[in-house]
Amino acid sequence: MTNPRKLAVSALLKIEKDNAYSNITLAAFLKEAEFSPQDKALFSALVYGVLDRKITLDYVLSKYMKTPLKKTAPFTLAVLRTALFQIMFMDKIPESAAVNEAVKIIKKSKESRNAGFVNAVLRGVLREGFSLPEGDTAGNLSIKYSCPLWICESFCRDYGIDTAKKILEESLKTPPLSIRVNNIKTDAESLKQEFLNAKIDFEKGGNDNCLVIKGGMDISQNDLYKKGLFYAQDEASQRAVGVLSPKKGERVLDMCAAPGGKSFTMAGLMQNEGEIIACDLYEKRAGLIAEGAKRLGLSIIKTAVADATVFDKSLGEFDGILCDVPCSGLGVLRRKPDIKYKPECDFRELEEIQYSILCNARKYLKKGGRILYSTCTLRQEENENLVIRFQKEYNTFRKVYEHTFMPHIDGTDGFYCALLESKE
Protein backbone atom coordinates (compact mmCIF):
# COMPACT_ATOMS: atom_id res chain seq x y z
CA MET A 1 0.00 0.00 0.00
CA THR A 2 1.13 3.55 -0.73
CA ASN A 3 2.18 5.78 2.17
CA PRO A 4 -0.39 8.64 2.10
CA ARG A 5 1.91 11.08 3.93
CA LYS A 6 4.82 10.49 1.58
CA LEU A 7 2.60 10.77 -1.48
CA ALA A 8 1.09 14.01 -0.13
CA VAL A 9 4.61 15.46 0.11
CA SER A 10 5.29 14.44 -3.51
CA ALA A 11 2.01 15.98 -4.70
CA LEU A 12 2.71 19.24 -2.87
CA LEU A 13 6.19 19.42 -4.43
CA LYS A 14 4.75 18.94 -7.92
CA ILE A 15 2.07 21.59 -7.39
CA GLU A 16 4.68 24.10 -6.20
CA LYS A 17 7.43 23.25 -8.69
CA ASP A 18 5.22 23.03 -11.80
CA ASN A 19 2.67 25.64 -10.69
CA ALA A 20 0.16 22.83 -11.31
CA TYR A 21 -3.55 22.84 -10.47
CA SER A 22 -4.13 21.05 -7.18
CA ASN A 23 -7.32 19.24 -8.26
CA ILE A 24 -5.71 17.87 -11.43
CA THR A 25 -2.54 16.83 -9.56
CA LEU A 26 -4.56 15.21 -6.79
CA ALA A 27 -6.65 13.23 -9.28
CA ALA A 28 -3.55 12.02 -11.12
CA PHE A 29 -1.85 10.84 -7.92
CA LEU A 30 -5.00 9.12 -6.68
CA LYS A 31 -5.35 7.27 -9.97
CA GLU A 32 -1.92 5.69 -9.57
CA ALA A 33 -1.98 5.04 -5.81
CA GLU A 34 -3.11 1.91 -4.01
CA PHE A 35 -5.09 3.41 -1.13
CA SER A 36 -7.59 2.24 1.43
CA PRO A 37 -10.55 4.67 1.78
CA GLN A 38 -8.98 5.99 5.01
CA ASP A 39 -5.59 6.60 3.38
CA LYS A 40 -7.25 8.26 0.39
CA ALA A 41 -9.02 10.64 2.75
CA LEU A 42 -5.80 11.36 4.66
CA PHE A 43 -3.85 12.03 1.46
CA SER A 44 -6.50 14.46 0.16
CA ALA A 45 -6.81 16.20 3.53
CA LEU A 46 -3.05 16.71 3.76
CA VAL A 47 -2.63 18.10 0.25
CA TYR A 48 -5.53 20.54 0.44
CA GLY A 49 -4.84 21.30 4.11
CA VAL A 50 -1.22 22.28 3.58
CA LEU A 51 -2.16 24.39 0.56
CA ASP A 52 -4.90 26.10 2.58
CA ARG A 53 -2.65 26.80 5.58
CA LYS A 54 0.80 27.25 4.05
CA ILE A 55 1.33 30.84 5.20
CA THR A 56 0.32 29.95 8.76
CA LEU A 57 2.51 26.86 8.75
CA ASP A 58 5.51 28.78 7.44
CA TYR A 59 5.04 31.46 10.09
CA VAL A 60 5.22 28.86 12.88
CA LEU A 61 8.09 26.93 11.29
CA SER A 62 10.16 30.08 10.92
CA LYS A 63 10.11 30.49 14.71
CA TYR A 64 11.94 27.15 15.12
CA MET A 65 14.33 27.28 12.17
CA LYS A 66 17.62 29.13 11.87
CA THR A 67 17.73 28.36 8.15
CA PRO A 68 15.44 30.68 6.14
CA LEU A 69 12.50 28.89 4.55
CA LYS A 70 13.64 29.89 1.05
CA LYS A 71 16.97 28.15 1.61
CA THR A 72 15.47 24.96 3.05
CA ALA A 73 15.57 21.93 0.75
CA PRO A 74 12.14 21.64 -0.97
CA PHE A 75 11.43 18.03 0.04
CA THR A 76 12.41 18.72 3.65
CA LEU A 77 10.22 21.82 3.79
CA ALA A 78 7.25 19.90 2.35
CA VAL A 79 7.71 17.18 4.98
CA LEU A 80 7.84 19.82 7.74
CA ARG A 81 4.70 21.54 6.48
CA THR A 82 2.81 18.26 6.21
CA ALA A 83 3.78 17.15 9.72
CA LEU A 84 3.04 20.55 11.26
CA PHE A 85 -0.38 20.64 9.60
CA GLN A 86 -1.21 17.37 11.33
CA ILE A 87 -0.01 18.75 14.67
CA MET A 88 -1.88 22.05 14.41
CA PHE A 89 -5.08 21.13 12.59
CA MET A 90 -5.76 17.36 12.70
CA ASP A 91 -6.95 16.46 16.19
CA LYS A 92 -7.42 12.76 15.49
CA ILE A 93 -3.76 12.19 14.61
CA PRO A 94 -1.41 11.80 17.63
CA GLU A 95 1.31 14.44 17.61
CA SER A 96 4.01 11.81 18.14
CA ALA A 97 2.79 9.90 15.08
CA ALA A 98 3.01 13.01 12.91
CA VAL A 99 6.63 13.57 14.00
CA ASN A 100 7.71 9.95 13.74
CA GLU A 101 6.22 9.51 10.27
CA ALA A 102 7.89 12.72 9.07
CA VAL A 103 11.30 11.51 10.27
CA LYS A 104 10.77 8.12 8.59
CA ILE A 105 9.91 9.78 5.27
CA ILE A 106 13.03 11.97 5.41
CA LYS A 107 15.31 9.06 6.34
CA LYS A 108 14.18 7.15 3.23
CA SER A 109 14.67 10.14 0.90
CA LYS A 110 17.61 11.77 -0.88
CA GLU A 111 17.56 14.38 1.90
CA SER A 112 18.10 11.81 4.68
CA ARG A 113 20.84 14.03 6.14
CA ASN A 114 18.05 16.37 7.32
CA ALA A 115 16.32 13.77 9.50
CA GLY A 116 17.80 15.19 12.73
CA PHE A 117 16.84 18.72 11.65
CA VAL A 118 13.24 17.72 10.95
CA ASN A 119 13.00 15.89 14.27
CA ALA A 120 14.45 18.88 16.18
CA VAL A 121 12.12 21.43 14.60
CA LEU A 122 8.98 19.38 15.18
CA ARG A 123 9.98 18.38 18.73
CA GLY A 124 10.57 22.07 19.41
CA VAL A 125 7.03 22.88 18.31
CA LEU A 126 5.64 20.14 20.57
CA ARG A 127 7.75 21.26 23.51
CA GLU A 128 7.22 25.02 23.31
CA GLY A 129 3.90 25.21 21.48
CA PHE A 130 2.87 27.79 18.91
CA SER A 131 0.93 31.04 18.82
CA LEU A 132 -0.34 33.34 16.13
CA PRO A 133 -0.28 37.17 16.24
CA GLU A 134 -3.31 38.88 17.73
CA GLY A 135 -4.96 42.10 16.67
CA ASP A 136 -7.05 42.92 13.62
CA THR A 137 -4.57 44.18 11.06
CA ALA A 138 -4.31 42.96 7.49
CA GLY A 139 -0.87 41.52 8.28
CA ASN A 140 -2.18 39.50 11.23
CA LEU A 141 -5.18 38.29 9.25
CA SER A 142 -2.78 37.13 6.55
CA ILE A 143 -0.98 34.87 9.03
CA LYS A 144 -4.06 33.69 10.92
CA TYR A 145 -6.11 32.83 7.82
CA SER A 146 -3.16 31.88 5.60
CA CYS A 147 -3.94 34.36 2.85
CA PRO A 148 -1.45 36.66 1.08
CA LEU A 149 -1.25 40.18 2.44
CA TRP A 150 -2.41 41.85 -0.78
CA ILE A 151 -5.66 39.82 -0.77
CA CYS A 152 -6.32 40.61 2.90
CA GLU A 153 -5.68 44.30 2.22
CA SER A 154 -8.09 44.15 -0.74
CA PHE A 155 -10.88 42.61 1.36
CA CYS A 156 -10.28 45.10 4.21
CA ARG A 157 -10.29 48.05 1.83
CA ASP A 158 -13.46 46.98 0.03
CA TYR A 159 -15.54 45.60 2.92
CA GLY A 160 -13.94 46.61 6.22
CA ILE A 161 -12.02 44.50 8.72
CA ASP A 162 -15.01 42.63 10.22
CA THR A 163 -16.39 41.44 6.89
CA ALA A 164 -12.87 40.65 5.67
CA LYS A 165 -12.41 38.32 8.64
CA LYS A 166 -15.66 36.50 7.86
CA ILE A 167 -14.71 36.10 4.19
CA LEU A 168 -11.31 34.72 5.20
CA GLU A 169 -12.84 32.35 7.75
CA GLU A 170 -15.12 30.92 5.07
CA SER A 171 -12.20 30.52 2.68
CA LEU A 172 -10.77 27.80 4.94
CA LYS A 173 -13.97 25.78 5.21
CA THR A 174 -14.96 22.79 3.08
CA PRO A 175 -17.25 24.00 0.29
CA PRO A 176 -20.63 22.35 -0.30
CA LEU A 177 -21.22 20.19 -3.36
CA SER A 178 -24.19 21.88 -5.03
CA ILE A 179 -25.82 20.32 -8.06
CA ARG A 180 -28.44 21.46 -10.54
CA VAL A 181 -31.30 19.17 -11.57
CA ASN A 182 -31.52 18.86 -15.35
CA ASN A 183 -35.18 19.70 -15.80
CA ILE A 184 -35.09 18.62 -19.46
CA LYS A 185 -34.62 14.97 -18.45
CA THR A 186 -36.14 14.81 -14.97
CA ASP A 187 -37.48 16.94 -12.11
CA ALA A 188 -36.33 17.65 -8.57
CA GLU A 189 -38.74 15.24 -6.86
CA SER A 190 -37.80 12.37 -9.16
CA LEU A 191 -34.07 12.97 -8.68
CA LYS A 192 -34.52 13.16 -4.91
CA GLN A 193 -36.11 9.71 -5.02
CA GLU A 194 -33.26 8.41 -7.17
CA PHE A 195 -30.78 9.76 -4.60
CA LEU A 196 -32.70 8.12 -1.76
CA ASN A 197 -32.70 4.80 -3.62
CA ALA A 198 -28.96 5.10 -4.18
CA LYS A 199 -28.43 6.08 -0.50
CA ILE A 200 -26.95 9.44 -1.48
CA ASP A 201 -27.28 11.90 1.41
CA PHE A 202 -28.54 15.31 0.29
CA GLU A 203 -30.55 18.35 1.28
CA LYS A 204 -32.55 20.92 -0.66
CA GLY A 205 -30.59 23.96 -1.81
CA GLY A 206 -31.74 27.57 -1.74
CA ASN A 207 -32.85 27.56 -5.38
CA ASP A 208 -35.44 25.58 -7.31
CA ASN A 209 -33.77 22.56 -8.91
CA CYS A 210 -30.77 22.86 -6.60
CA LEU A 211 -29.68 20.07 -4.26
CA VAL A 212 -26.66 19.91 -1.96
CA ILE A 213 -24.95 16.53 -1.67
CA LYS A 214 -23.70 15.93 1.87
CA GLY A 215 -20.44 14.14 2.58
CA GLY A 216 -19.16 14.67 -0.96
CA MET A 217 -18.72 12.17 -3.77
CA ASP A 218 -17.08 11.77 -7.17
CA ILE A 219 -20.10 12.70 -9.25
CA SER A 220 -18.36 11.92 -12.55
CA GLN A 221 -18.54 8.22 -11.64
CA ASN A 222 -22.22 8.35 -10.67
CA ASP A 223 -24.69 6.60 -13.02
CA LEU A 224 -27.33 9.32 -12.57
CA TYR A 225 -24.75 11.93 -13.57
CA LYS A 226 -23.72 9.87 -16.61
CA LYS A 227 -27.38 9.70 -17.64
CA GLY A 228 -27.45 13.50 -17.62
CA LEU A 229 -29.91 13.95 -14.78
CA PHE A 230 -27.79 16.60 -13.02
CA TYR A 231 -24.53 18.56 -13.11
CA ALA A 232 -22.39 20.40 -10.56
CA GLN A 233 -22.93 24.14 -10.15
CA ASP A 234 -22.62 26.43 -7.13
CA GLU A 235 -25.81 28.11 -5.95
CA ALA A 236 -24.50 31.63 -6.63
CA SER A 237 -23.89 30.75 -10.25
CA GLN A 238 -27.38 29.26 -10.53
CA ARG A 239 -28.98 32.35 -9.01
CA ALA A 240 -27.02 34.68 -11.30
CA VAL A 241 -28.31 32.89 -14.40
CA GLY A 242 -31.80 33.33 -12.99
CA VAL A 243 -31.19 37.09 -12.89
CA LEU A 244 -30.54 37.11 -16.65
CA SER A 245 -33.81 35.13 -16.93
CA PRO A 246 -33.41 33.73 -20.46
CA LYS A 247 -36.77 32.86 -21.99
CA LYS A 248 -38.04 30.16 -24.29
CA GLY A 249 -37.36 31.02 -27.93
CA GLU A 250 -34.70 33.67 -27.28
CA ARG A 251 -31.19 33.85 -28.70
CA VAL A 252 -28.59 34.00 -25.92
CA LEU A 253 -24.82 34.41 -26.06
CA ASP A 254 -22.52 32.97 -23.38
CA MET A 255 -19.28 34.80 -24.13
CA CYS A 256 -16.90 32.90 -21.81
CA ALA A 257 -18.84 29.68 -21.39
CA ALA A 258 -16.42 26.92 -20.28
CA PRO A 259 -16.91 24.63 -18.44
CA GLY A 260 -20.55 25.19 -19.46
CA GLY A 261 -22.63 25.15 -16.27
CA LYS A 262 -24.26 28.52 -16.89
CA SER A 263 -25.13 27.60 -20.49
CA PHE A 264 -26.70 24.37 -19.22
CA THR A 265 -28.80 26.26 -16.66
CA MET A 266 -29.91 28.79 -19.28
CA ALA A 267 -30.99 25.96 -21.58
CA GLY A 268 -33.08 24.51 -18.75
CA LEU A 269 -34.74 27.85 -18.04
CA MET A 270 -35.48 28.17 -21.77
CA GLN A 271 -37.05 24.67 -21.75
CA ASN A 272 -34.55 23.72 -24.45
CA GLU A 273 -36.26 26.03 -26.96
CA GLY A 274 -34.38 28.85 -28.67
CA GLU A 275 -30.63 29.10 -29.25
CA ILE A 276 -27.58 29.47 -27.04
CA ILE A 277 -24.17 30.18 -28.54
CA ALA A 278 -21.56 29.08 -26.00
CA CYS A 279 -18.11 30.47 -26.75
CA ASP A 280 -14.62 29.78 -25.49
CA LEU A 281 -11.19 30.89 -26.59
CA TYR A 282 -9.88 27.32 -26.80
CA GLU A 283 -11.21 24.52 -28.99
CA LYS A 284 -10.66 21.85 -26.34
CA ARG A 285 -12.72 23.72 -23.75
CA ALA A 286 -15.47 24.40 -26.29
CA GLY A 287 -15.47 20.66 -26.98
CA LEU A 288 -16.03 19.92 -23.28
CA ILE A 289 -19.10 22.19 -23.32
CA ALA A 290 -20.45 20.30 -26.34
CA GLU A 291 -19.89 16.96 -24.59
CA GLY A 292 -21.71 18.19 -21.49
CA ALA A 293 -24.64 19.51 -23.53
CA LYS A 294 -24.93 16.17 -25.34
CA ARG A 295 -24.93 14.23 -22.05
CA LEU A 296 -27.66 16.49 -20.70
CA GLY A 297 -29.73 16.39 -23.90
CA LEU A 298 -29.55 20.17 -24.39
CA SER A 299 -29.91 20.54 -28.14
CA ILE A 300 -30.18 24.35 -28.23
CA ILE A 301 -26.54 24.83 -27.16
CA LYS A 302 -24.14 25.41 -30.05
CA THR A 303 -20.46 25.92 -29.28
CA ALA A 304 -18.05 28.30 -30.98
CA VAL A 305 -14.34 29.03 -30.63
CA ALA A 306 -14.15 32.80 -30.23
CA ASP A 307 -12.14 35.55 -28.55
CA ALA A 308 -14.57 37.40 -26.28
CA THR A 309 -12.66 40.66 -26.73
CA VAL A 310 -13.07 40.60 -30.55
CA PHE A 311 -16.37 41.31 -32.28
CA ASP A 312 -17.55 38.59 -34.70
CA LYS A 313 -20.39 39.90 -36.85
CA SER A 314 -21.25 36.39 -38.06
CA LEU A 315 -22.60 35.45 -34.62
CA GLY A 316 -25.56 37.80 -35.11
CA GLU A 317 -27.67 39.59 -32.51
CA PHE A 318 -28.93 38.33 -29.15
CA ASP A 319 -31.76 39.01 -26.71
CA GLY A 320 -29.56 38.23 -23.71
CA ILE A 321 -25.83 38.00 -23.15
CA LEU A 322 -23.99 36.33 -20.30
CA CYS A 323 -20.66 38.03 -19.72
CA ASP A 324 -19.04 35.80 -17.07
CA VAL A 325 -15.52 37.13 -17.46
CA PRO A 326 -12.11 35.68 -16.48
CA CYS A 327 -11.30 37.01 -13.02
CA SER A 328 -8.97 36.73 -10.03
CA GLY A 329 -11.22 34.04 -8.50
CA LEU A 330 -11.00 35.36 -4.93
CA GLY A 331 -14.57 34.24 -4.27
CA VAL A 332 -13.69 30.57 -4.72
CA LEU A 333 -10.55 30.29 -2.56
CA ARG A 334 -12.15 27.47 -0.57
CA ARG A 335 -12.41 25.45 -3.80
CA LYS A 336 -9.13 26.52 -5.39
CA PRO A 337 -6.50 27.33 -2.74
CA ASP A 338 -3.86 27.48 -5.49
CA ILE A 339 -5.22 30.90 -6.47
CA LYS A 340 -3.90 32.39 -3.23
CA TYR A 341 -0.31 31.83 -4.24
CA LYS A 342 -0.42 33.47 -7.63
CA PRO A 343 1.50 36.77 -7.54
CA GLU A 344 -0.56 39.94 -7.54
CA CYS A 345 1.07 40.99 -10.81
CA ASP A 346 -0.70 38.08 -12.55
CA PHE A 347 -3.99 39.94 -12.08
CA ARG A 348 -2.95 43.45 -13.14
CA GLU A 349 -4.27 43.24 -16.70
CA LEU A 350 -7.52 41.49 -15.75
CA GLU A 351 -9.63 44.61 -15.39
CA GLU A 352 -8.82 45.81 -18.90
CA ILE A 353 -9.60 42.36 -20.34
CA GLN A 354 -12.89 42.27 -18.41
CA TYR A 355 -13.80 45.77 -19.56
CA SER A 356 -12.94 44.91 -23.16
CA ILE A 357 -15.22 41.84 -23.02
CA LEU A 358 -18.10 43.83 -21.52
CA CYS A 359 -17.74 46.58 -24.12
CA ASN A 360 -17.65 43.98 -26.87
CA ALA A 361 -20.81 42.32 -25.51
CA ARG A 362 -22.91 45.39 -26.17
CA LYS A 363 -22.16 45.09 -29.92
CA TYR A 364 -24.05 41.78 -30.06
CA LEU A 365 -27.11 43.04 -28.21
CA LYS A 366 -30.51 43.64 -29.76
CA LYS A 367 -32.23 46.91 -28.94
CA GLY A 368 -33.77 46.61 -25.49
CA GLY A 369 -31.68 43.53 -24.73
CA ARG A 370 -29.87 42.72 -21.51
CA ILE A 371 -26.36 41.80 -20.40
CA LEU A 372 -25.46 39.96 -17.21
CA TYR A 373 -21.92 40.82 -16.11
CA SER A 374 -20.55 38.38 -13.52
CA THR A 375 -17.37 37.22 -11.79
CA CYS A 376 -16.42 34.72 -9.08
CA THR A 377 -14.26 37.26 -7.27
CA LEU A 378 -14.78 39.74 -4.43
CA ARG A 379 -12.55 42.58 -5.66
CA GLN A 380 -14.57 45.72 -6.29
CA GLU A 381 -12.09 46.79 -8.99
CA GLU A 382 -13.32 43.84 -11.05
CA ASN A 383 -16.96 44.19 -10.02
CA GLU A 384 -18.85 47.33 -8.98
CA ASN A 385 -16.17 49.77 -10.10
CA LEU A 386 -15.93 48.22 -13.55
CA VAL A 387 -19.70 48.37 -14.08
CA ILE A 388 -19.74 52.02 -13.00
CA ARG A 389 -16.98 52.74 -15.54
CA PHE A 390 -19.00 51.00 -18.26
CA GLN A 391 -22.15 52.97 -17.48
CA LYS A 392 -20.24 56.25 -17.59
CA GLU A 393 -18.95 55.45 -21.06
CA TYR A 394 -22.20 53.93 -22.34
CA ASN A 395 -25.07 55.81 -20.70
CA THR A 396 -27.67 53.98 -22.80
CA PHE A 397 -27.40 51.10 -20.31
CA ARG A 398 -29.14 51.10 -16.96
CA LYS A 399 -28.28 48.80 -14.07
CA VAL A 400 -31.47 47.04 -12.97
CA TYR A 401 -29.94 44.54 -10.55
CA GLU A 402 -26.68 44.13 -8.65
CA HIS A 403 -25.64 41.70 -5.95
CA THR A 404 -22.46 40.45 -4.34
CA PHE A 405 -22.91 36.93 -2.99
CA MET A 406 -20.98 36.51 0.27
CA PRO A 407 -20.02 33.03 1.53
CA HIS A 408 -20.81 33.91 5.16
CA ILE A 409 -24.20 35.47 4.29
CA ASP A 410 -25.51 33.63 1.23
CA GLY A 411 -23.90 30.26 1.94
CA THR A 412 -22.47 30.26 -1.60
CA ASP A 413 -19.17 30.96 -3.29
CA GLY A 414 -18.16 34.60 -3.42
CA PHE A 415 -19.78 35.89 -6.60
CA TYR A 416 -20.83 39.18 -8.20
CA CYS A 417 -23.42 39.91 -10.85
CA ALA A 418 -25.00 43.01 -12.38
CA LEU A 419 -27.84 43.06 -14.91
CA LEU A 420 -27.56 45.83 -17.50
CA GLU A 421 -30.45 46.66 -19.82
CA SER A 422 -30.18 48.66 -23.01
CA LYS A 423 -32.43 51.72 -23.01
CA GLU A 424 -32.42 51.85 -26.79
Longest dimension (CA), the chain: 74
Query: By C-alpha distance, which of 81, 27, 28 is closest to 59?
Result: 81
| Cα dihedral 124, 128, 130, 133 in deg (nearest 10) | -120
Q: Which residue out of 152, 156, 327, 376 is catalytically annotated? A: 376
CA distances from 312 to 185, 306, 353 (A): 33, 8, 17
Q: Are 80 and 102 in contact (CB under 8 A)?
A: yes
Evaluate the omega torsion of the peptide bond into residue 337 and state whether it is cis, within 30 degrees of 0: no
User: Which residues pair with residue 420 across a beta bridge?
Assistant: 371, 399
Whether residue 152 lies in the annotated active site: no
**Cα distance between residue 323 and residue 159, in whole Å:** 24
DSSP state of 317: -
> Any alpha helices (H) in 212-344, and if so which ranges?
223-226, 235-244, 261-269, 283-296
CB distance 52 to 45 below 8 Å: no
Q: How far is the first Cα of the chain from the last one, in angstroms, to the nearest whole number?
A: 67
Q: Catalytic residue numbers?
A: 376
